[in-house]
């Protein structure tokens, strides 16, 4: 059964191994009979590294052990077992082009963050155990395809994160930790209601996300047909509740207020994980769950989603500009950058008039996916860099920095690249996500596209201003000037992979788009088909009544499509663009 | 029927083939244990030290008789071969799957609980025998409560379960708080019992019977015949007064005032007993009453075809609406109040008292869902009761774990203040993990079993379309996070005070082992939902038929 020579066995166990290896590591860590803190940290680093290797191995295109096919849409490496038959709950895992990059990002950042934890010297054993448990939760969220399992992993993350902020954080750690916990739990209990409602309205009752999506997109879906409360359908309520749950994590204005506190108080490695991975779960949930399961609500609320995304972008950028604390600035920049993700996903659900053209949607959603990965790299990098300088001078006051360039040239150089990547400079990873989101938005609403594009100016404003205040200037006048020594080898080892990834994705975005595109395309086409076949019937009968008529009863959609489907020739599609760029 | 015939009938009903006594053996075992303890105390004064062993033997015998061995052989889905609901002792009690499973839970709890009191050694030898007698007596009353089929048994069961609890609360003679708590509990209990008795007599008078199935059948007839307003008034008043009595046992708001004081005054052991066993039995009674009045049962000696047809056209809809409204309102208020009041608590037992109140609210939500569903979806109603049973089963472990750790820490530090737990995370990491598991399970965070209790109950609420209640339940989960988390936070995060050291309790000690024994199921049961569901599903087979 455990014959590793047999690729089938490995394929079956691969995903489970990826998820549970850190948890097993955490258990082993609790009883490991060693005294030295270094030993414990090394052991944890080893575990995270093995997990990283496993995920990379899984990502090797066809022929690799997991036999992941890059050009294939839909779930691969699926593991599906009955778990709780009385509720039809399954142990159901799978990988596709949307989850794989996020899984890779998670395992990659976990290694770096664990390595960045060398400075932790309080209760190292507990710290490492919580860290590994957190990694299990994060990987599980991206791999689970059963809603129950997803929810379990989603919650499993909360406790380690609470303690990691609450015990090892900064001066206001307890406040920040409980705020993080309460906000996320509030979101997740709302999500729980949605899960239960969807479970109850599906027939046969199921928690399987893929199955729920199939039911949600059916022409005569019970989700859009059944009224839940106040004249709104099951689908509408489920979408709203799920969306709030994910938007807390994302985070979107106005439920972002936990983020600046949590990020600022968390220790550096945990800030890296928070910004790099946890925020992505919100975006992932919306792409994977909200839209496929509740397309009609997404269609109806597209303006709200896009509006929230735009407001987050503008608000986050303006707030970042006003910060005096270096880490807080980076935290608000995350709010702003994740706004792009929301906008990119949101436009995807919208149709420009009645032209059922998937190109813009694909662009927006690919942009959102790209932005998530790019932000994972750049924000983790920024938090790490802030941590590096904080370790030396023990303050983060932007007004008391300046003149770091001559004292720490390598550090300043790395910082420039990472900050410019966050800014969205062409040639670095931040550029593609923003570009595609803005392009995708154009067909949905020119106003929003213009606003989104001009946020880049605000971003440039606060990033350049930060660089000026921190790195440039004649000399450093703040406290602990004597401690400003160049980066250590370990710090370089952590920063350099991030720089490499930022540049790699900047000049060769195809590396990522190749993985993402087929799955995104598939989701978008499904949504398009739904909008084309089902949405008009909903509209025709009256949005409030929710009594969908079969698609055959709908008028001749084809003609309309034929007239309006003229594709703009100036703007190539996502795929064509990426083919041109490298 | 002359006297001799009547006598013959009673004899054959009681001891004849398949008679009532056979189904009553677990209770008889409890009675025998009580007598054995009392006699031994008089006859062999030097023998007291082994009271615990006698109790274990007695409970073991009771478990043996109570445990559905037949089912195990048949696997649970085949439990239909087990004789279904059967009225025993000429109809005052009902022996069915629900009784068997809930009684099993109660007896299993009693075994764990007796071990717990033995370990903490809170009573000296003299007191311990008395304590066990009281505990077993109360347990006997609880067994009657959950199998009640007659309002006399309702009253008798509630009183039998309550009176020993009053005494146990005040048993620590050297503590004035304990006596005060006992007095408060007794006065409150007496008041509630009086009101309940009044309500029961009103109901019995208005419906012309004291046998629950007959009362329901009469209710159907009366409603169908078009009752007078006064009759309805008497019924509603009776129903409300009955609610007061059951609400007192459940510590439902606004009949909860005794709970915090009693929990604080009594020892943690007694508080655990009141919080778990008493609550489980009261819920069982609530389920019995709700089931009896929302669905006519075949056990009434009346022409049932006609009554069933009347009931089918909605003659019981009013009664169901009444039950759903009253229980929902109580559940919502109880849950919210319990959680909000727990915020300000600094004493662990008081905090757990409010937590108990809040959890009673969650469990009552399941009963409300069952009553709401019974009219249109009997399997759904059965599922709702099963959800309540699952909740009770899980609640047993998580609450007992919390109380046990509180008691062990009291033994070690002499304090039950939450603030005095600071530094435990460093000194006794294993015990802290156990407490954290219990607390987070009480919040209902996966992957701990407490989540499943909430999940199943909430699912029943979705099924019953009780949206407001669902929203309140979910919101309360959020509210409860804060104070449970605070306990763990003090243990883990707060700095250790300089003037004293936190106690060191390793998991390898017997105390530590007991804590593991209670908390391990909280993790394990999470993965065994299917098995629990099968058991709970089997337990509800004979309800609502």
Task: Count other Cβ atoms within 10 Å, centred on residue A207.
Answer: 25
What pLDDT does residue A246 have? 92
C-alpha torsion sign, points B310, B313, B315, B320: positive
What kind and span of H or E run contains B113? helix B97-120
* Residue range(s) defining the domain that contains residue A357: 303-582
**CA nearest neighbour of B362 among B288, B289, B456:** B456
Cα distance between residue A216 and residue B188, in whole Å: 54
Q: Which residue in the set A84, A159, A186 is minimally distant from B445, CB to CB?
A: A159
Task: Tell me, yes or no, whether A116 lies in a domain.
Answer: no
Summarize pLDDT for A564-574 with one digit per residue, the tens. 333 333 334 44
Across the interface, whether the CB atoms of A86 and B533 are under 8 A apart is answered yes
Which chain B residue shows the shortest CA-CA distance from A89? B530
Summarize pLDDT for A353-391 with one digit per residue, the tens. 556 677 777 888 888 899 999 999 999 999 999 988 888
Higher-confidence position of B499 and A84: A84
B76, B430, B464, B474, best to mutate vs chain A, most A CBs in 10 Å: B474
Tell me the percentage of chain A whose pLDDT exceeds 90. Answer: 22
| ipTM for the complex shown | 0.86
pLDDT score of A576 more than 50: no
What tokens appear for A402 in the block? 């300046």
Q: Is B524 on the interface with A (CB under 8 A)?
A: no
pLDDT band per the 50, 70, 90 thresholds, residue A149? very high
**CA nearest neighbour of B33 among B52, B47, B19, B5:** B52
What pLDDT does residue B212 have? 87
Summarize pLDDT for A505-558 with one digit per residue, the tens. 988 888 888 888 888 888 888 887 777 777 666 654 444 433 333 333 333 333
Across the interface, whether the CB atoms of A178 and B492 are under 8 A apart is answered no
Residues of B in contact with A86 (CB under 8 A): 529-530, 533-534, 537
pLDDT band per the 50, 70, 90 thresholds, residue A63? low
In a 13 Å sphere around the CA of A112, the CA atoms on its Cβ side amount to 31
Report which DSSP code applies to B299: T
Task: Tell me, yes or no, whether A184 lies in a domain.
Answer: no
Higher-confidence position of A114 and A63: A114
Q: Which residue in the set A126, A152, A181 is minimally distant from B485, CB to CB?
A: A181
What pLDDT does residue A568 have? 36
Q: Is A89 on the interface with B (CB under 8 A)?
A: yes
C-alpha torsion sign, points A286, A292, A296, A300: positive
Q: Which residue in the set B445, B462, B534 is minimally distant from A158, CB to CB?
A: B445
Cα distance between residue B263 and residue B268, in whole Å: 7
pLDDT band per the 50, 70, 90 thresholds, residue A575? very low
Mean pLDDT of A209-216: 85
Across the interface, whether the CB atoms of B458 and A155 are under 8 A apart is answered no
Across the interface, whether the CB atoms of B485 and A178 are under 8 A apart is answered yes
Number of domains in chain A: 1
Conformational region of residue A74, where left means phi above 0, alpha means psi within -120 to 50, and beta covers everything else: left
What pLDDT does residue A551 have? 38
Overall size of chain A counted in residues:
582
What pLDDT does residue B163 have? 93
Across the interface, whether the CB atoms of B533 and A87 are under 8 A apart is answered yes
Q: Which residue in the set B455, B474, B530 is minimally distant from A86, CB to CB?
A: B530
Mean pLDDT of A498-510: 89
3-class SS shares of chain A: helix, strand, coil, % to 5: 75, 5, 20
Cα distance between residue B231 and residue B222, in whole Å: 9
Residues B98/B386, Cβ–Cβ less than 8 Å:
no
Q: Which residue in the set B440, B451, B534 is minimally distant from A159, CB to CB?
A: B440
Distances (CA, A) of B68 to A77, A185, B3, B104, B105: 44, 40, 37, 8, 12
Residues of B in contact with A152 (CB under 8 A): 446-447
Q: Which residue in the set B478, B489, B534 is minimally distant from A189, CB to CB?
A: B478
Task: Tell me, yes or no, whether A333 lies in a domain.
Answer: yes
Task: Tell me, yes or no, whether A83 lies in a domain.
Answer: no
What pLDDT does residue A354 have? 58
Residues of B in contact with A162 (CB under 8 A): 485
What pLDDT does residue A245 have? 92
Across the interface, whether the CB atoms of A192 and B467 are under 8 A apart is answered no
Which chain A residue shows the shortest CA-CA distance from B532? A86
Distances (CA, A) of B527 to A85, A157, A387, B454, B467: 12, 18, 40, 15, 28
What pLDDT does residue A65 have? 62
Q: Is B183 on the interface with A (CB under 8 A)?
A: no
B422, B446, B487, best to mutate vs chain A, most A CBs in 10 Å: B446
What pLDDT does residue B35 have? 92
Task: Tell me, yes or no, whether A330 lies in a domain.
Answer: yes
Q: Which residue in the set A152, A186, A200 is minimally distant from B447, CB to CB?
A: A152
- Shortest distance between the Cα of B305 and any Cα of chain A, in A, equals 34
Residues of B in contact with A193 (CB under 8 A): 458, 462, 470-471, 474
Task: Tell me, yes or no, whether A340 lies in a domain.
Answer: yes
Q: Is A571 on the interface with B (CB under 8 A)?
A: no
Ranges of H-type helices in A96-206: 99-116, 124-143, 147-156, 158-168, 173-201
pLDDT score of A440 more than 60: yes
Q: Which residue in the set B445, B493, B530 is minimally distant from A85, CB to CB?
A: B530
Q: Is A162 on the interface with B (CB under 8 A)?
A: yes
Q: Is A229 on the interface with B (CB under 8 A)?
A: yes
Residue by residue, pLDDT tens for chain B (545 residues) are 688 888 888 887 777 766 777 778 888 899 999 998 888 888 877 765 678 888 888 888 888 887 765 554 444 554 455 556 777 887 888 888 888 888 888 999 999 999 998 888 888 777 888 889 999 999 999 999 998 989 999 999 999 999 999 999 988 878 888 889 999 999 999 999 999 999 999 999 888 888 888 888 888 888 877 777 788 888 889 999 999 999 998 888 888 888 888 988 888 889 999 999 999 999 999 999 988 888 877 777 766 676 677 666 677 788 888 889 999 999 999 999 999 999 888 889 999 999 999 999 999 999 999 988 888 888 888 899 999 999 999 999 999 999 999 998 888 888 888 888 888 888 888 888 899 999 999 998 888 999 999 999 999 998 888 888 999 999 999 889 889 988 988 888 887 777 777 778 888 888 888 999 999 999 999 888 888 888 888 888 778 77
Cα distance between residue A381 and residue A416, in whole Å: 11
Task: Tell me, yes or no, whether A475 lies in a domain.
Answer: yes
Summarize pLDDT for A463-481 with one digit per residue, the tens. 998 888 888 877 877 787 7
- Shortest distance between the Cα of A230 and any Cα of chain B, in A, equals 11
pLDDT score of A151 more than 90: yes
Cα distance between residue A148 and residue B455, in whole Å: 10
Cα distance between residue A501 and residue B432, in whole Å: 42
Task: Tell me, yes or no, whether A287 lies in a domain.
Answer: no
Q: Mean pLDDT in chain A? A: 82
- Shortest distance between the Cα of A84 and any Cα of chain B, in A, equals 5
């Amino acid at each position: 059964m455990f014959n590793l020579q047999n690729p089938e066995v490995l394929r079956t166990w691969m995903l489970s191994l990826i998820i549970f290896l850190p948890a097993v590591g955490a258990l082993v860590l609790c009883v490991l009979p060693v005294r030295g803190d270094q030993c414990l940290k090394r052991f944890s680093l080893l575990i995270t590294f093995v997990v990283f290797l496993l995920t990379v191995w899984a990502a090797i295109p066809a022929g690799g052990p997991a036999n992941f096919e890059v050009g294939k849409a839909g779930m691969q490496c699926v593991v599906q077992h009955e778990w709780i038959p009385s509720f039809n709950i399954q142990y159901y895992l799978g990988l596709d082009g949307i989850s794989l990059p996020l899984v890779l990002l998670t395992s990659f950042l976990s290694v770096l963050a664990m390595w960045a934890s060398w400075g932790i010297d309080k209760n190292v054993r507990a710290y490492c155990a919580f860290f590994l448990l957190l990694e299990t939760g994060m990987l599980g969220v991206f791999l689970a395809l059963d809603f129950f399992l997803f929810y379990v992993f989603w919650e499993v993350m909360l406790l380690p994160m609470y303690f990691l902020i609450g015990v090892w954080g900064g001066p206001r750690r307890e406040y920040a930790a409980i705020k993080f916990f309460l906000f996320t739990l509030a979101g997740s209990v709302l999500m729980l209601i949605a899960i239960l409602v969807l479970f109850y309205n599906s027939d046969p009752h199921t928690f399987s996300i893929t199955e729920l999506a199939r039911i949600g997109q059916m022409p005569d879906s019970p989700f859009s047909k059944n009224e839940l409360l106040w004249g709104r359908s099951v689908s509408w309520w489920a979408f709203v509740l799920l969306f709030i749950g994910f938007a807390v994590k994302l985070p979107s204005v106005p439920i972002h207020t936990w983020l600046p506190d949590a990020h600022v108080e968390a220790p550096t490695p945990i800030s890296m994980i928070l910004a790099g991975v946890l925020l992505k779960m919100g975006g992932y949930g919306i792409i994977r769950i909200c839209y496929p399961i509740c397309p009609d609500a997404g269609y109806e609320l597209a303006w709200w989603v896009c509006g929230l995304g735009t407001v987050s972008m503008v608000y986050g950028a303006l707030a970042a500009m006003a910060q005096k604390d270096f880490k807080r600035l980076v935290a608000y920049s995350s709010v702003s950058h994740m706004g792009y993700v929301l906008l990119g996903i949101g436009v995807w659900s919208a149709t420009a008039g009645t032209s059922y053209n998937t190109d813009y949607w694909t662009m927006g959603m690919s942009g959102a996916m790209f932005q998530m990965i790019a932000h994972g790299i750049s924000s983790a990098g920024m938090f790490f860099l802030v941590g590096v300088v904080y370790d030396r001078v023990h303050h983060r006051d932007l007004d008391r920095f300046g003149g770091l360039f001559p004292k720490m040239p390598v550090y300043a150089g790395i910082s420039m690249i990472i900050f410019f990547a966050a800014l969205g400079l062409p040639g670095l990873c931040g550029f593609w996500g923003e570009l595609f989101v803005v392009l995708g938005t154009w067909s949905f609403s020119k106003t929003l596209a213009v606003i989104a594009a001009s946020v880049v100016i605000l971003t440039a404003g606060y990033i350049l201003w930060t660089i000026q205040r921190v790195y440039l200037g004649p000399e450093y006048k703040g406290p602990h000037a004597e401690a400003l020594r160049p980066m250590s080898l370990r710090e370089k080892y952590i920063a350099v992979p991030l720089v490499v990834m930022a540049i790699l994705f900047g000049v060769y975005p195809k590396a990522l788009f190749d993985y993402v595109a087929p799955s995104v395309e598939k989701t978008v086409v499904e949504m398009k088909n739904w909008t084309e076949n089902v949405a008009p019937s909903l509209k025709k009968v009256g949005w409030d009544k929710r009594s969908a008529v079969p698609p055959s009863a709908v008028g001749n959609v084809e003609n309309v499509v034929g007239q309006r489907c003229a594709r703009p020739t100036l703007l190539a599609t996502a795929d064509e663009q990426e083919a041109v760029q490298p | 029927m002359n006297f001799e015939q009547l006598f013959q009938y009673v004899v054959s009903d009681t001891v004849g083939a398949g008679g009532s006594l056979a189904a009553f053996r677990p209770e008889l075992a409890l009675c025998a244990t009580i007598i054995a303890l009392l006699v031994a105390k008089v006859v062999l004064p030097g023998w007291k030290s082994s009271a615990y062993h006698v109790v274990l033997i007695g409970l073991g015998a009771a478990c043996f008789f109570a445990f559905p061995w037949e089912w195990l052989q048949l696997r649970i889905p085949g439990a239909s071969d087990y004789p279904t609901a059967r009225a025993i002792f000429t109809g005052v009690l009902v022996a069915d799957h629900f009784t068997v499973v809930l009684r099993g839970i109660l007896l299993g709890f009693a075994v764990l609980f007796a071990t717990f009191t033995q370990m903490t050694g809170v009573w000296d030898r003299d007191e311990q025998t008395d304590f066990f007698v009281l505990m077993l007596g109360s347990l006997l009353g609880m067994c009657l409560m959950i199998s009640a089929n007659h309002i006399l048994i309702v009253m008798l069961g509630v009183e039998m379960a309550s009176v020993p609890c009053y005494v146990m609360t005040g048993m620590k003679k050297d503590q004035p708080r304990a006596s005060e708590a006992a007095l408060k509990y007794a006065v409150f209990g007496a008041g509630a019992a009086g009101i309940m008795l009044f309500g029961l007599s009103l109901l019995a008078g208005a419906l012309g019977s004291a046998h629950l199935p007959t009362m329901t059948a009469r209710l159907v007839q009366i409603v169908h015949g078009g009752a007078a307003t006064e009759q309805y008034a008497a019924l509603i008043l009776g129903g409300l007064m009955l609610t007061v009595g059951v609400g007192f046992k459940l510590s439902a708001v606004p009949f909860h005032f005794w709970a915090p004081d009693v929990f604080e005054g009594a020892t943690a052991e007694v508080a655990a007993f009141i919080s778990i066993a008493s609550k489980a039995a009261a819920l069982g009674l609530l389920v019995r009453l709700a089931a009896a009045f929302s669905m006519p049962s075949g056990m009434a000696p009346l022409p049932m075809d006609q009554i069933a047809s009347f009931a089918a056209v909605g003659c019981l809809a009013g009664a169901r609406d009444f039950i759903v409204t009253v229980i929902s309102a109580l559940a919502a208020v109880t849950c919210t109040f319990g959680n909000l009041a727990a915020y300000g608590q600094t004493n662990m037992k008081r905090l757990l008292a409010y937590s108990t109140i809040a959890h009673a609210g969650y469990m009552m939500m399941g009963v409300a869902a069952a009553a709401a569903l019974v009219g249109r979806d009997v399997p759904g109603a059965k599922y709702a009761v099963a959800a309540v049973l699952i909740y009770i089963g899980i609640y047993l472990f998580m609450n007992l774990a919390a109380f046990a750790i509180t008691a062990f820490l009291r033994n070690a530090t002499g304090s039950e203040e939450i603030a005095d737990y600071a530094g435990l995370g460093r000194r006794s990491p294993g015990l802290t993990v156990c407490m954290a598991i219990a607390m987070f399970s009480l919040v209902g965070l996966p992957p701990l079993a407490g989540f499943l209790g909430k999940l199943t109950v909430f699912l029943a609420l979705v099924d019953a379309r009780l949206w407001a209640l669902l929203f309140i339940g979910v919101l309360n989960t959020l509210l409860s996070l804060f104070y449970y988390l605070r306990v763990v936070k003090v243990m883990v995060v707060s700095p250790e005070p300089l003037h004293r050291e936190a106690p060191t309790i390793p998991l390898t000690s017997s105390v530590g082992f007991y804590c593991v024994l209670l908390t391990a199921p909280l993790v394990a049961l999470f993965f065994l939902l299917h098995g629990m569901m099968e058991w709970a599903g089997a337990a509800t087979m004979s309800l609502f038929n």
